[in-house]
Amino acid sequence: MELRALRYFVTVAEELHFGRAAERLHIAQPAVSQQIARLERELGVQLLDRSPRRVRLTEAGHRVLDAARDALVAADLVRTAAGKSTSTTLRIGTAAGLTARLERGIDALRERAPDFDVVLVDLPVAARLNALRRGELDLALARGVLSAPGLTVLPTWSEPLHVIVSSRHPAAGRDSVTVAEMADSVLRVPARDSDPPLHDALGAALREAGVCVPLGRPTGTTQDTIVEVGSDPRSWAVLPADQIAETGSTRVRTVRLDPPVTITGNVVAPEGTPSHAAECAVTAFRDAIA
């Protein structure tokens, strides 16, 4: 049994599509089909239920998938132990407002395994998750993601959401505000397709407060949000505390929400990531102990 066939099978099982699997593997689709058929003949079971419209794992396919992933992880460990790879590259999906957490977490990971390079890839949350599924990232940090098909979501930290207003806004001098007290100002929120977790967290806070606020144009990047809100004393936005801390703008003020609203930060990894590796990442990127 060849490791190549197992790798092809795992890729098809994750994509449930031979064409997309071939693209990920950078090979022709017929080669993928031939390797899967050969593996099925060797094992004496059908792993995939193929039809013109869809590909599904059979019951045997589900069982073999877990074992195949374990075999590929074991093979990688053997290669590393044999010294064939003296360094590895860790590709981390990230976003604005995570600099301090990334620096602290990468330092913690290097204490355990110093010989690896880090590549940080800044992507919107949906693109981050898709890159993980395609094998283009090894792990990602993401706020507010509750679950993601094909991925393992591991709650790691909790972060308060704060109101940001122009320094000329009436609430600029307040220590805290309620959502109801901001109901006369225009709320700027991200479009749901660009940042579903933050969009949904704000929607839940508004529903819980039982207030209806006027909504303005959807926000873009953090930098653009800070500039636009800072220029308009009639508007406000809500951002995670760490994200605001990195802006350094003198044109906006940060005000705490009362009652507090928090968003959960997660380490997200591909399904099949060894449990010890996932636990190591969670330990590295969780909140610093005071």
CA–CA gap between residue 37 and residue 261 (Å, rounded): 52
| CATH hierarchy code of domain 158-262 | 3.40.190.290
- pTM for the full predicted model: 0.64
d(CA 148, CA 158): 19
Q: What is the pLDDT of residues 160-204, one digit of tens each?
A: 999 999 999 999 999 999 988 999 999 999 888 778 878 888 888
- Report the Cα 123 to chain-centroid distance in Å: 9
**Residue 80 binned pLDDT confidence (cut-offs 50, 70, 90):** low
User: Residue 45, by phi and psi: left (phi above 0), alpha (psi -120 to 50) or beta?
Assistant: beta
For domain 88-156+264-285, give the CATH superfamily: Periplasmic binding protein-like II (3.40.190.10)
| Domain boundaries, given as residue ranges, for the chain | 3-81, 88-156+264-285, 158-262
**25-53 per-position pLDDT tens digit:** 878 888 888 889 999 999 999 999 888 77
Express as a percent the part of the chain with pLDDT over 90.
Answer: 36
| Per-residue pLDDT tens digits for 132-171 | 999 888 999 999 888 889 999 999 999 999 999 999 999 9
Q: Distance between CA 62 and CA 66 in Å, rounded?
A: 7
Q: What is the per-residue DSSP string for the chain?
A: --HHHHHHHHHHHHHT-HHHHHHHHTS-HHHHHHHHHHHHHHHTS--EEE-SS-EEE-HHHHHHHHHHHHHHHHHHHHHHHTTS-S-EEEEEEE-TT-HHHHHHHHHHHHHH---EEEEEEE--HHHHHHHHHTTS-SEEEEES----TTEEEEEEEEEEEEEEEETTSTTTT-SEE-TGGGTTSEEE-B-TTT-HHHHHHHHHHHHHHT----B-SPB-SHHHHHHHHHT-TTEEEEEEHHHHHTT--SSEEEEEESS--EEEEEEEEETT--HHHHHHHHHHHSPPP-
Q: Which CATH entry fits the domain spanning 3-81: 1.10.10.10, 1.10.1740.10, 3.30.70.270, 3.10.130.10? A: 1.10.10.10
88-156+264-285 and 158-262 share one fold: yes
CA angle centred on 273, ends 143 and 23, rounded to 5°: 90
290 pLDDT higher than 60: no
